[in-house]
Structure 1
Amino acid sequence: MDDIPLIFDPVTGNYHRITRAGEVVLTFLDGTRTREDLVVLLSRADEARAEALTGQIDTFLAALDKSGLLEGSALPERPQESGRVRTSMLMPRIVLTRSLPRLLEPLAAVLRRMPPKLLVLITAFCALVGYSFGFHTLFTAMPPAEDLAGPAFLIATGVMLLYVLLHESAHALVAQILGTPVRGLGVALLFYFVPVAYVDRTDAYRFRGRGGRVVLAMAGVISDGVFCGLSAVLALNSSGLLRDTAALLLGMQLLMLIVNLNPLMPSDGYTAIEAASGLTNARARAFSLLRHTIRRQELPAHLAQLGTAARRGHMAYGVFSVIYVCLLAYAMFHAVPVTVDLSLSAVGR
């Protein structure tokens, strides 16, 4: 990834980032050398160098063993199994289908024939126009709030679920075009209480070049912009139930844009920042650093090597993310009565 070496584990499906020095050591792990052989080989009979290398090689081998990457080492505590249900600290997931690559390949084959930059420019322009028109409509032509209750709420919610599916399918389509098919489409519970759809695009690490991964991360947001424009057109050029439904749907779409661009969550915006900047697992590192610091535990090797400024930056990011999650939970808790009222109004209560 961006010429940064990664280890791919075919048993768990996980990728592990390593340094260039680690990549060199890996070339000698062929089953014929012991730890002592490695030290002698790499130190070139320099005793001072051998002493320094011993600790570094021990740390590296221990990290490989802990990740389950050495022959005979135990699997990690939470292996990514091939089953339908997977768990993580913040996002339990359920895989619904693994057939998207097969379904999207015919369309992807057609789009591959187009100039990539032109295709991105056209779709991005349409998305910007759609969002601009959507915000303009939201602030200038929204119907009264009481008109949005009842059937309009139920219909808009159902259509929004369809748009979420199209949003994730857009990610999958770009991944298919780039030759790194998604592993599956599923549903996750963000922080155990926010249901979100997702596609597993882990193998995007295999694509060389940041531009393609940025487009992959933003594909859903771009597709949402086009549909947002369509909702605005309907809201301005219709009446009655259709107008109310389109207006309510427009509000939901623009709210989803804010959520998707939030850099503090595992969102499209965060993924795009990672892809554009070359950072890897910045959020996971921040939470791991915060957790180990609070528990007064020894830091893993990859965190212990962080400089003072980088460590403070990750800590600040982790603390700010926790505060944001608490505020989000608070807002959702207070939004429940409003949502219940809208749902009851849809059935005449």
Structure 2
Amino acid sequence: MISSPPKLRDELEVIRGMDDIPLIFDPVTGNYHRITRAGEVVLTYLDGTRTRDDLVAFLSRADQDRAAALSRQIDTFLAALDRSGLLVGSALPDKPQDGRRVRTSMLMPRIILTRSLPRLLEPVAILLRAVPALLPVLVAVLGALAGYAFGLHTLFTATPPPQDLAGPAFLIATGVMLLYVLLHESAHALVAQVLGTPVRGLGIALLFYFMPVAYVDRTDAYRFKGRGGRVLLAMAGILMDGWSCALSGAVALNSTGLVHDTAALLLGMQLLMLIINLNPLMPSDGYTALEAATGLTNARGRAFALLRHTARRQELPPHLANLSTAARRGHMAYGLFSAVYVCLLAYAMFHAVPVTVDLALSAVGR
């Protein structure tokens, strides 16, 4: 229990973020803490002049029944603020070392490659802000759709047999694909720059400590309220990949030999990247865009819980039972789509493993 009059640290910033959700920004850690609107009201009284009991008495307005329930809620809220180091006298979190480029987590250590993207992208962002917002969006979307259609058509009609793609073509395609991934992440960074929420850095994360994954730290996107902008921010990388896909397809159609084989392999890798980026079961770009568009959180968890309870004919928990009919159908459709996606992905991976192994072995001369 918090005994002394609780007071929020002076340097903290209380803002309204996406979907008008209240947030506490801690400049020491750079973290955002999501709170409820009721919690936002309580924060205005954490000025160090009221004790915990004063808060309960003031907010309950002498209603004894309400005071009992409010007392528990206030204790829980203050304890959460204290654990996060947000109150004066709380154990402060370790302040990040300036310039530190390596951060670790349980499953994904991250290495920052550069923090200069905002400075490099600002001249382009200035130009984009000067034109009607809808114009670059339409160009990006239509170009990406055409690029995917053209590139995937080329992949399935002009790709030589897998055994002809082994060796140098595989190695070169892997190197070029890394450049495409950097373009993908830079697209996210450019949209964030245009929206006024610059990324904090560009880096590489090691998923499960061995699988390299490029990323940009767009934590401050929490500050942007508009759903349309947040959807575009999430989809920017996928749109850039569509343009890259068109480039690979054009090279494949207008070349022969090693260059043709390399471009054909790139198209296959880009198809795989598209599948990964639309993965509904992971925090992929597609999933992030879905959450941004709908304003939902944990849509995946709700969808599978709904499917599980429905299949077992169990009584729905309150947070699912209170869903509207349209929301329930939407969650069911999402869960079924995810199940079909998993089945198709497993089928494709099962058939792709022998080909991938052959290409990898041939690339090292075996």
Q: TM-score range by the shorter chain?
A: 0.7 to 0.9
Comparing 53-62 with 8-17, which one deviates more in the overlay?
8-17
Does residue 1:124 correspond to 2:135, yes or no? no
Which runs of 5 or more structure 1 residues have no equivalent in the other structure? 290-304
Task: Return the alpha-carbon distance in structure 2 between the equivalents of residues 92 and 310 of structure 1.
Answer: 39
1:49-108 residue CA offsets vs partner (Å, 9 max, x unmatched): 2122111101111111122221222246x9876532223344221111111101111111
Task: Return the alpha-carbon distance in structure 1 between the equivalents of residues 48 and 193 of structure 2.
Answer: 37
Counterpart position of 1:255 = 272
Task: Return the alpha-carbon distance in structure 2 between the equivalents of residues 251 and 308 of structure 1.
Answer: 40
Counterpart position of 1:173 = 190
Task: Return the alpha-carbon distance in structure 1 between the equivalents of residues 204 and 322 of structure 2.
Answer: 33
Task: Return the alpha-carbon distance in structure 1 between the equivalents of residues 231 and 111 of structure 2.
Answer: 25
Counterpart position of 1:271 = 288
Q: Residues 80 and 125 of structure 1: is their aligned pair in 2 closer, same or farther, counting only changes over 3 Å?
A: farther
Counterpart position of 1:190 = 207
1:286-325 residue pairs with structure 2 within 5 A?
A: 307=319
Task: Return the alpha-carbon distance in structure 1 between the equivalents of residues 248 and 28 of structure 2.
Answer: 45
Task: Return the alpha-carbon distance in structure 2 between the equivalents of residues 151 and 24 of structure 1.
Answer: 63
Counterpart position of 2:256 = 239
**Superposition deviation, residue 340 in structure 1:** 6.2
Opposite residue 94 of structure 1, the aligned amino acid is I
Opposite residue 248 of structure 1, the aligned amino acid is L
**Superposition deviation, residue 342 in structure 1:** 3.1
Counterpart position of 1:212 = 229
Counterpart position of 1:292 = none
Contact 1:187 1:198 in 2 (8 A): yes
Question: How many corresponding residue pairs?
Answer: 321
1:223-282 residue CA offsets vs partner (Å, 9 max, x unmatched): 000010111111112111111010001110111010011121121111111111113466
**Superposition deviation, residue 39 in structure 1:** 0.8
**Corresponding residue SS for 1:133:** helix
Match of 2:47 among 30, 33, 36: 30
Does residue 1:221 correspond to 2:238, yes or no? yes
Match of 1:102 among 119, 128, 136: 119
1:44-55 residue pairs with structure 2 within 5 A?
A: 44-55=61-72
**Superposition deviation, residue 306 in structure 1:** 7.1
**Superposition deviation, residue 190 in structure 1:** 2.5
1:19-51 residue CA offsets vs partner (Å, 9 max, x unmatched): 111010000011111101101111112222212
1:174-202 residue CA offsets vs partner (Å, 9 max, x unmatched): 00000000011111122444321000001
Contact 2:162 2:355 in 1 (8 A): no
Match of 2:180 among 163, 171, 178: 163
Task: Return the alpha-carbon distance in structure 1 between the equivalents of residues 277 and 230 of structure 2.
Answer: 16
1:145-176 residue CA offsets vs partner (Å, 9 max, x unmatched): 11111111111111000000110000000000
- TM-score normalized by the length of structure 1: 0.83
Does residue 1:72 correspond to 2:89, yes or no? yes
Match of 2:26 among 9, 17, 39: 9
Opposite residue 232 of structure 1, the aligned amino acid is G
Which runs of 5 or more structure 2 residues have no equivalent in the other structure? 1-17, 306-316, 324-330
Contact 2:163 2:359 in 1 (8 A): no
Comparing 191-200 with 56-65, which one deviates more in the overlay?
191-200
Counterpart position of 2:35 = 18
Comparing 166-175 with 112-121, which one deviates more in the overlay?
112-121
Q: Residues 189 and 10 of structure 1: is their aligned pair in 2 closer, same or farther, counting only changes over 3 Å?
A: same
Does residue 1:57 correspond to 2:69, yes or no? no
- TM-score normalized by the length of structure 2: 0.79
- Alpha-carbon RMSD across the aligned residues, in angstroms, is 3.1
Contact 1:14 1:80 in 2 (8 A): no
